[in-house]
A and B are shown apart, each in its own frame.
Chain A
Amino acid sequence: MLGRIVRRLGLGLGIVFVVVTLTFILISLAPGDPARLWVGPGAGQEELTAARRALGLDHPLPLRYAAWLADFARGRWGTSIAQQRPVARVIADALPHTLVLSLSSLLVTYLFGLLIGVIQAMKRRSLLDTGLTVGTLLVYGMPAYWLAIMLVLVFAYGAARFDWPVWLQFPAMGVAGLDADFLSPWDRVADRARHLVLPLATLGAIGAAGTARFVRGSVLDVRGQEFVRTARAKGLPASAVELRHVLRNALLPVVTLLGLSLPALFSGTVFVEVIFAWPGMGRVMVDAVGARDYPIVMATTAIFAMLVVLGNLLADLLYAVADPRLRGETR
C-alpha cells in the first residue's frame, strides 16, 4: 500500500513537471512581449531593454527555463507583472475561494448524483425514472456559463423584480456583500452562504446530473450480472442483495469517476468564477493570461495540475480501499 502511494506520488510529480515545462515552452513561443506590456506603448527602446533585463527576458530560453525551474521548485514564484504583488500572495488570496467552491460542489455533485442515480435504478422504467432521465439529460447538456446566466436572470434579477420572498433572492456577484464587515459573525456566515448559492447551484446541478446518469447505468449493469442472481438464488433478502452486492460493486467505477471529473470541475469553476465575480484561481488565471502575466499563469497552471494529480491519487487510494481485490497489491 505504502509503496503504491509513493509510486503514484512520484508519477504525479512527473506529470506536474511535464505540465509546467510544456506551459513554459508554449508561453515562450507565443507572440506578445510582456516587457512591452509592462512599460506601455509610449516607452522608448532604452526603457524596454531595462524592463527586459528586470524581468529576466534577456537570457536565452534554456537558461531562463533552468533558472525559473530552480526558483519554482524552491517555492520562489516571483512577482506578478500586472499586479506587482508576490505571486504566492495572489495565489494565497485566491486559492481558498476556489477550494470552497469546488469542494462544496463536489459534495453536492456526489450527494445528489448518487441519490438520484440509485433512486432511478431502483424504480427503473417508472414515471419517476423517465422524468429524472429527461431532467438529468437536460441539465447535463447545459454549458456551465449559460446555466449560470440563466440562474442569475431568474434568482437575482427576476426575483427582485417580481418581489419574490427574500429567501428566494440571491446575490449574483462576489463572495460577500458590501456591508459584510459591519455584520455580526452569524449574519456574516449567512451572507457568505447566500453568495455561494448560485455558483454552487450551477456547478452542483451539472455535476449531479452527469453523476446520476453514470450511477444509474452502473447500478443496472451490476444488477444484470450473474453473482447477483446467485446471491438472490441462495435466498438472501432483497435489501441485502441490493446493498452488499449491487450497490457496493456499482459504486466502484464512481470512485474512478471522481478522479476523472476533477479537470472538468476546474473548467466549470473557471467560467463560473468569471460570471459571478468570484475571486478564485480561475478568475486570476483568466485575467493573468489576458495581461500576459507569465509568473501568475505558470503558478496557476502548476496549482491546477497539482490539484488534479492529488485528486487522482485520492481516487486511486479510495478505489484500493473500496475494492478488496486490489488491497495489498503493489501494481
Chain B
Amino acid sequence: MSGLRTLLRDRRAAAGFLVLACCGTLALLAPLVAPADPLAQQDVLATRYLAPLAESPAGVRHWLGTDAFGRDVLSRLLYGARISLAVGLLSVAVSLLVGMAVGVLAAALGGVAERTLMAATDAALAMPRIVLLLALITLWEPSLALVVLVLGFTGWMPLARLARAEVKGVLGRPFVDAARASGVGRGRLVWRHVLPNATTSVMVAAALGVGNAIMLEAGLSFLGLGIPAPAPSWGNMIASGREALVNAPWIATFPGLAVVVTVIATSLIADGARDMLDPRTREGGGAGAVS
C-alpha cells in the first residue's frame, strides 16, 4: 500500500504506529514476557498491595506492584492489552463493515434509498451511544463477543457518512464516466473502480475509532459491564484499583496510563493521516464531510 508508506513518512504517524506495534507485540507475547501468571494468587495476606518494584516474601520482584489479591499488576496489564486491543480492532472492523455497506449503498443507489439510509444514519447518530451500550449490555449477559458487537454496531454512523461522501466524490470523476462509457456494469463499476479510490480516508477515520473503542470498552468494564471479573482488562483493573485508591494508587494508575498511551498513538496516526489527506492537496470532492 503506497498510502501507508506516505503516511509513515509523517513523524507523528510513524511514532503512533511504533507505539501501537509495541503494544501489539507485547500483548501477543504476553505469555513469554509476563513475569507471572496474571491470575495467580500466592499467600494473599503477605503479597497483596505490594508497591511497585517491591519484592514479595518469595523473592519475586513486582515491577508495577500487586493488587488486592497479590496478583502481579504488570502481568495483568500485559494480558489485559490482549483483550483491549482485540476489542478495539474487532469492534472497529464491525463498524467499518456496516458503515461502508450503508455509505456505499446510499451513494451508489441514490434517490429515495439514499435519503432513507442517510436519515437512518442521522437518527442513529443522535442516539447517545452510552445509553445504548448500557441498555444492551446489562440486559444481556456481558461477554467479549457482545462487547465487540455492541461497540461495532453503535460506531458505524460517522463512517457511513464519510463513505457516502467519498464515493459520491469519486463517482463524479472523469475516469468513472470513461469506465461507464466503455460499458462497465454498475456493480462492477462501484466495486472495481470507485471503492479502491474511496476507502483511504474511511480507513483513517476507522483507525481513529480504535482508540475510542478501547476507551469505551475500558469504561464498560469499569462499570462492571464489560469483560467479566477474573480475566484482566484495563477497565476492570481501573475499577478494582478504585477500591484501594488510598493504599495502593498504582493499581488504578498503570492501566489508565496504558489506555492513554494507546489512545494518543491512534490520535497521532489520525493527525498524520489528516494532513496526508488534506483536501487542498488532492483533487475530487468529499472533502467537506471529513470534519
Contacts and interface: CB of A to CB of B under 8 A. Distances in A.
Contact of B245 (A145, A149, A305): A149
A253 interface: yes
A150 B261 CA distance: 16
A303 to B, nearest CB: 10
Interface in B230-263: 238, 241-242, 245-246, 249, 252-253, 256, 259-261, 263
B27 to A, nearest CB: 18
Given A143-B219, A145-B238, A146-B259, A19 B123 contact: yes
B123 A289 contact: no
Interface stretch (B49-57, B130-138, B197-205): B130-138
Contacts of A195: none
B159 interface: no
Given A263-B129, A267-B130, A312-B126, A26 B249 contact: no
A308 B128 CA distance: 7
A289 B138 contact: yes
A304 B219 CA distance: 19
A150 B256 contact: yes
B40 interface: no
Max chain A C-beta neighbours (<10 A), residue from B129, B130, B218, B241: B130
B256 A285 contact: no
Contacts of B123: 14-15, 18-19
Interface in A1-42: 12, 14-15, 18-19, 22-23, 26-27, 30-32
Interface residue SS majority, chain B: helix
Interface in B210-233: 211, 215-216, 218-219, 222-223
B122 A305 contact: no
A312 to B, nearest CB: 7
Contact of B130 (A22, A31, A217, A266): A266
B139 interface: yes
A177 B235 CA distance: 30
Nearest to A152: B245
12 contacts: A23-B131, A137-B268, A138-B264, A143-B219, A143-B256, A143-B260, A153-B252, A253-B291, A266-B128, A267-B130, A271-B222, A286-B223
Contact of A271 (B127, B135, B219, B274): B219
Interface in B249-287: 249, 252-253, 256, 259-261, 263-264, 267-268, 274, 280
B139 A31 contact: yes
Given A150-B252, A224-B280, 4 more contacts: A140-B264, A157-B245, A271-B223, A275-B242
A140 B252 contact: no
Contacts of A144: 219
A309 interface: yes
Contact of A145 (B122, B222, B261, B268): B222
